[in-house]
Amino acid sequence: MAFFQPYTIFFIIFSTFFIKSIDGDDTGHLHFYFHDILSGKNPTAVSVLTPTKGSAISFGTIRMIDDALTEEQDSSSKVIGRAQGFYSAASQSELAFLMVITFSFVEGEYSGSTLSILGRNPVQKDVREMPVVGGTGKFRFARGYALAHTVWLDASTGDATVEYNVHLKQDAVSSQPLANSTSSFSFSLLLLILSAQRVQMIHPSRNPKQDNLKHKATACCSEMLNANDLCSYSYA
């Protein structure tokens, strides 16, 4: 029984560290405006596939976009990012788009980070909900939903401005510096070594093979601890 005790202690310590790392979630809210421009000399939404029989928004139509995201409803307000991807008319019974879009942020604290949505957008409804399926940078491991509400539409051109409210829930572990994670793991390994040594003193084994295996396990943990400390310093 004494032989398994240090490994049981290690399992409890590591499990506690792992669960603590992923249990705490951060929530957030983003608000911006999406400008879908089909008209003019420099449209930001371009049809790449239009059915031969039907209108520009018929079932099967696909549009590639690089739309501006702004802080305010006015298209001349500060641009904080771009919506890049495509949307397609995916319903034969109503005007509903399949949205495959990444919001790429270029300003503020989220500059360089992205969020991706993938979902159904029945554009004739007042408010549409689509899932956030992931992100990069500060939005790594993000999940949540985006609410879209059309605030302006030019029926003659198809140009539109859409208000987005994005609600996120993000694993806290995604935003932790690597040094913090490695330091916590180093501490767990240190406790494992100390536990193994204590068990060896209190319950000396009469089996030479078990003693040899314990010695090898402790030495291995020591090497991992030293290597992990080097990683901690290099990322600090």
Domain ranges of the chain: 26-172, 177-235
CA 79 to chain centroid, in Å, comes to 22
Which residue, chain included where needed, has tokens 């919506």? 83
pLDDT tens digit string along 68-119? 999 999 999 999 999 999 999 999 999 999 999 999 999 999 999 999 999 9
Please classify residue 1 by burial: count the beta carbons closer than 10 Å to its beta carbon, then call 0-12 exposed, 13-18 middle and 19+ buried: exposed
Give the CATH number of domain 26-172. Answer: 2.40.480.10
Low-confidence ranges of the chain (pLDDT < 50): 1-4, 14-24, 172-183, 225, 227-236
Which tokens belong to 156? 């003659």
- Single-letter code of the amino acid located at 197: Q
CA distance 192 to 224: 12
Mean pLDDT of the chain: 78
Structure tokens at 63: 């549009």
What pLDDT was estimated at residue 220? 56
pTM of the predicted model over 0.85: no
Q: What is the pLDDT at residue 129?
A: 98
